[in-house]
Amino acid sequence: MQIYEELVARGLIAQVTNEEEIKKMVNEGKAVFYIGFDPTADSLHVGHFMALCLMKRLQMAGNRPIALIGGGTGMIGDPSGRSDMRTMMTPEIIQHNCDCFKKQMSRFIDFSEGKAMMVNNAEWLLGLNYIEFLREVGPHFSVNNMLRAECYKQRMEKGLSFLEFNYMIMQSYDFYELFQRYGCNMQFGGDDQWSNMLGGTELIRRKLGKDAHAMTITLLLNSEGKKMGKTQSGAVWLDPEKTTPFDFYQYWRNVADADVLKCLRMLTFLPIEQIDEMDQWEGSQLNTAKEILAYELTKLVHGEEEADKAQEGARALFSAGGSTENMPICELADEDFKDGSIDILSVLHKSGLSASRSEARRNVEQGGVSVDGEAVKDVKAVYARSQFEGEGMVFKRGKKKFVKVVVK
């Protein structure tokens, strides 16, 4: 199976401009392709994960990726999938975020000479003369067509700023510049970027009389149609300081039964034949599939050692078969104890298992809290300082949240 056919089999491809031409280029390793990343935070997140995996797959097949960091477009903000305008960032913050991105991307992509490039569109966008730019690019864009684009239509009711309205033109200009500077002949992106990507191919055709291509990646949605990579506490980040390797592992370990095989196909590098065999799995076998998914993705993002630790910690809690040393830890200080003891509500709050004491009370009253495997039903339960010494105590809320509590 060649790389294009594998992408289809894994369910990764949503839309393409010219399938036969793209298939030929990708399979022969002749694609010089780019994917854009706007530096809206100091870490990539699960929403970027699919794009990074796709870049890795295509590079392994001999194609050349360009990671385009949006140092320029980041000053405007992409309206796609947004109900409101993004917060404006300073140039210093944007540069810091760009630096963080490159470090994380290097785990997926080989940036050595001739293998891949990282480019910042601030190089050409920030120096543009507004009047010259309008004369050069403006005549090639129909406002009527732009307003029909999905990324703009969904914003029209709440209001679309002229600043954001420029985004499609800026992204199209990126493709035009990359085509001329580096021979970039293809753009990949999320399926919500389709209109912007077509703008780029059309600009290249009109200005240069040459063909360029676009392909969108299937959005990573769960069985309920919602974007994956979000939790109640926010995004699932690739930075271990923002989302620990253990929490990252747990996110994937807890995906719905209906989503696990799709995630294995789209995100892991396991052979497609091996994943197809899991189609018949059910019941407890699906838990095994979730462990495989969580381990493979944690290894990909954080390395094998961290993946081993995360799996060991999870098994210690859920299977009583591993070491508790790799569980997430909360350290209590002497001042947390009153007369040598601490109550259950304080532990739940300080450990982050509950957002407040009132929420902790509800958690206990609803029967969702246990300590060292024993259910806690008394909201006035207290624990002596000595109980947290040594190995500590494992506090669990619900089926998925737990922490080992120790004293400093």
Residue stretches of the annotated binding site for L-tyrosine: 34, 167, 171
The contacts found for 159-168 with CB under 8 angstroms, 24 or more apart, are 160/79, 161/85, 163/76, 163/77, 163/85, 164/76, 164/77, 164/78, 164/79, 164/85, 166/76, 167/73, 167/76, 167/77, 167/78, 167/79, 167/196, 168/141, 168/195, 168/196, 168/199
Q: Which residues are annotated as a binding site?
A: 34, 167, 171, 230
Residues paired with 382 in a beta bridge? 343
Contacts of 147 (CB under 8 A, 6+ apart): 153, 156
Q: Tokens at residue 273, please?
A: 């034949």
- H or E segment at 62? none
| Whole-Å CA distances, 177 to 45, 75, 95, 311, 332 | 27, 18, 21, 45, 55
Q: Tokens at residue 3, please?
A: 């790389």
DSSP letters along 67-120, please?
EEE-TTGGGT---TT-SSPPPP--HHHHHHHHHHHHHHHTTTS--STTT-EEEE
CA neighbor of 348 nearest in space, from 377, 319, 369: 369
Q: Which residues are annotated as a binding site for ATP?
A: 230
Q: Are 139 and 87 in contact (CB under 8 A)?
A: no
How far apart CA 375 and CA 369 sit, in angstroms, is 6
Residues paired with 13 in a beta bridge? 217
Can you tell me whether residue 189 is helix, strand or coil?
strand
> If you search the block for the tokens 């870490």, which residue do you land on?
43
CB-neighbour burial class of residue 197 (10 A; exposed 0-12, middle 13-18, buried 19+): buried
CB-neighbour burial class of residue 180 (10 A; exposed 0-12, middle 13-18, buried 19+): middle
How far apart CA 93 and CA 148 sit, in angstroms, is 33
CA 380 to chain centre: 41
- Residue 184's φ and ψ, nearest 5 degrees, are -70, 115
